[in-house]
Amino acid sequence: MQVDLPGQLPGATLLAPGREVAVTVPATSANLGPGFDSLGLALSLYDTVRVRTTDEPGITVQVAGEGADQVPLDSSHLVVRTILSTLADAGYTVRGLHLSAENVIPHGRGLGSSAAAIVSGVLAANALLPDADRLDAAQVLHACSALEGHPDNVAPALAGDLAISWETDGVFRSARAAVHPDVVPVVAIPATELSTERARGLLPATVPHRTAAANSGRAALLVHALTMDPAFLPEGTQDFLHQDFRAPAMPASAALIQALRSAGFAAAVSGAGPTVLCLANGASAAAAAEELMARQLQAAGENWRVLRLGVERDGARVEVHQR
Known binding-site residues for ATP equal: 106-116
DSSP conformation class of 207: -
Alpha carbons 42 and 20: distance in angstroms, whole number? 26
Closest CA to 26 of 110, 107, 120: 120
Structural domains of the chain ordered from first start: 2-175+312-322 (3.30.230.10), 183-308 (3.30.70.890)
Peptide linkage before 274 cis (omega within 30 of 0): yes
Each residue's pLDDT expressed in tens, for the chain with a length of 323 residues: 344 455 455 678 999 999 999 999 999 999 999 999 999 999 999 999 999 999 999 999 999 999 999 999 999 999 999 999 999 999 999 999 999 999 999 999 999 999 999 999 999 999 999 999 999 999 999 999 999 999 999 999 999 999 999 999 999 999 999 999 999 999 999 988 876 677 678 888 888 999 999 999 999 999 999 999 999 999 999 999 989 998 888 999 999 999 999 999 999 999 989 999 999 999 999 999 999 999 999 999 999 999 999 999 999 999 997 65
8 Å CB contact between 162 and 178:
yes
pTM for the whole thing?
A: 0.93
Residues paired with residue 164 on neighbouring β-strands, in sequence order: 39, 175
Known binding-site residues equal: 106-116
Q: Could you give the 3-state DSSP secondary structure of residue 114?
A: helix
